[in-house]
Chain A
Amino acid sequence: MKKILLVETKLLARDWLGVALSLALPVGLLLVLGQIPDLQKPDPNLGGQRFVDAQLPAQMILLALLTTAFTILPGAMATYREQGVLRRMSTTPTHPARLLGAQLLLNLIIALCSAVVVILAGWLVFGSQIPGQLFGFLLAYLLGAAAMLALGLVIAAIAPNSKTAPGIGSVAMFPLLFVAGMWIPREIMPDTLRTISDFSVVGPFVNAMRDTWAGDWPQLPHLAVMVGGLVLFSGLAVRLFKWE
């Protein structure tokens, strides 16, 4: 397993462009959007917080997560399936599930690195706080990440080939970013949209991020929706995933 992880890391490093993009895009957007003067003023809609304090970094962390989970992971898995890499591996005493495990772990690490970079950039450039409830933050992050990576595997399973997998992933990303409050903060969403957001896994994810940023523990309903998403998506991924 160690060797698979090592080789997969090397392979990912050789295709560094996608990884670099998923690392650079969220922090780049944070730095650019953060320059907008209005976003640096306390906003009554956000309970007196500035947009750059938690709302924007939380969205960027979600963006980073979705980029890896919805484009890099499905792209890699669909390519492996298409080229017969998984099939080749299933003729050896090892199971291709290990390759899957290595991919999940690597993408989680990339997304986590990206989150750390976003938090540090917000802290250094805009004087945003770092998450006050770090354990709660990690708990919510890992839960949300697991759910999104599982959904990424579902995309990998239903994509007809390696070319379409990242495309489907990108298309799926935008509605999720929308309901998570990327363009309209949840506080000013219409009721219906907010209800959708509440059950969208990404909505609770962003909310939990913001709560832990403020030093609180994530709220139980938020965690519950994420657990529900994880169970649903991983169940689907297991059912739908094709080794060849």
Chain B
Amino acid sequence: MNVIEVKNLHKRYKDHVAVEDVSFEVRAGEIFGILGPNGAGKTTTVECVSGLRVPDGGTLRVAGIDPVQDRDGLRRVLGVQLQSSALPEKIKVWEALDLYASFYQDPADWPELLERVGLGAKRDAMFGKLSGGQRQRLSVALALVGKPRIAVLDELTTGLDPQARRDTWELVEQVRDSGVTIVLVTHFMEEAERLCDRIALIDSGRVAAIDSPAGLVARVGGEQKVRFRPSAPVADSVLTSLPEVKEISRTGDQVVVTGIGNLAPAVTLALAEQRIVPNDLRIEQATLDDAFLALTGRKLA
């Protein structure tokens, strides 16, 4: 079942077109990623979905609701965490949640929500004193306080340190497990790969591709590289005879094997037959970055 349907969305501002033509569907219960470089039109797209901007063209349905026609209805089913929106510096964590809970007819139990996002100990802290990660957790809590069916999370982990980022990812997965459909806007390839069930790659206001992370990577051919230092000299022919191997190159005592399919097991097995151990074995697979590059001719970051 689709909870969000976007068809031929078009949005222009005074001097430029932000979204040229974007269509996608989000299924109930999934984490749907909108991935693309800065300025690709990601935020404008979700702002239209969230009813914050009126599109210039196309149709939108969120849980069957037209965001332009029924803003109030939309706000009851959709929770939003926005990029570049904050709270007053001196509002306390509990006050913010209590206040935002009061905006909804049937709000979540916010003290429980506070514990869930791991801010129980920060109840009485002021917003201005929170770390970046804590602010994002509060922001997620605020997006969830209205018990939405869908949560839009825009650039959730931008500016966070790696630990805070990983903690936030866990939180997002928890939220999905609680039954909330999530639209995740990001320009981090790693984040999209880790969290998303499906991803829309957006570039210059258009959808370049929609697929699962693995599906997107497979589109670029699924080429892999295996690097290792053999424990004894190994002849090229040992490896080139394997159907998975396409190419071999050497730098110093390091061997780099390029190929497709089950490359790593095939290589290690062949080496084992020669009683050679592949030391410092590393497997490099194509990433979403590579997929993005191949699909749009442009680097993601």
Contacts and interface: CB of A to CB of B under 8 A. Distances in A.
Interface residues of A, number: 20
B87 interface: yes
Interface string A62-96: 00000000000000000110011101111111100
Given A3-B102, A7-B95, A10-B95, A90 B86 contact: no
B85 interface: yes
B148 to A, nearest CB: 10
Given A90-B52, A92-B104, A93-B76, A84 B95 contact: no
A7 B95 CA distance: 7
A92 B146 contact: yes
A10 B124 CA distance: 13
Interface string A1-29: 00110010011001100000000000000
Contacts of B146: 92-93
Contacts of A79: 88
B99 interface: yes
A3 B98 contact: yes
Interface residues of B, number: 26
A6 to B, nearest CB: 9
Chain B interface, DSSP helix/strand/loop, else mixed: loop
Contacts of A80: 88
Given A7-B91, A91-B52, A93-B72, A84 B84 contact: yes
A15 B87 CA distance: 15
Chain A interface, DSSP helix/strand/loop, else mixed: helix
Given A3-B98, A3-B102, A91 B90 contact: no
Contacts of B104: 92-93
Contacts of B80: 91
Contacts of B95: 7, 10
B99 A91 contact: no
B90 A92 contact: no
Interface in B38-72: 50, 52, 72
B82 interface: yes
A87 B85 contact: yes
B52 A83 contact: no
A14 B99 CA distance: 17
Given A88-B86, A93-B103, 4 more contacts: A7-B99, A15-B90, A90-B52, A92-B104
Interface of B: 50, 52, 72, 75-76, 79-80, 82, 84-91, 95, 98-100, 102-105, 142, 146
What 6 pairs between A and B have smallest CB-CB spacing? Answer: A84-B85, A91-B80, A88-B85, A94-B103, A92-B103, A3-B102
Interface of A: 3-4, 7, 10-11, 14-15, 79-80, 83-85, 87-94
25 contacts: A4-B99, A4-B102, A7-B91, A7-B95, A14-B90, A79-B88, A83-B85, A84-B84, A84-B85, A84-B86, A85-B86, A85-B88, A87-B52, A87-B82, A87-B84, A87-B85, A88-B82, A88-B142, A89-B103, A91-B80, A91-B82, A91-B85, A92-B146, A93-B75, A93-B103
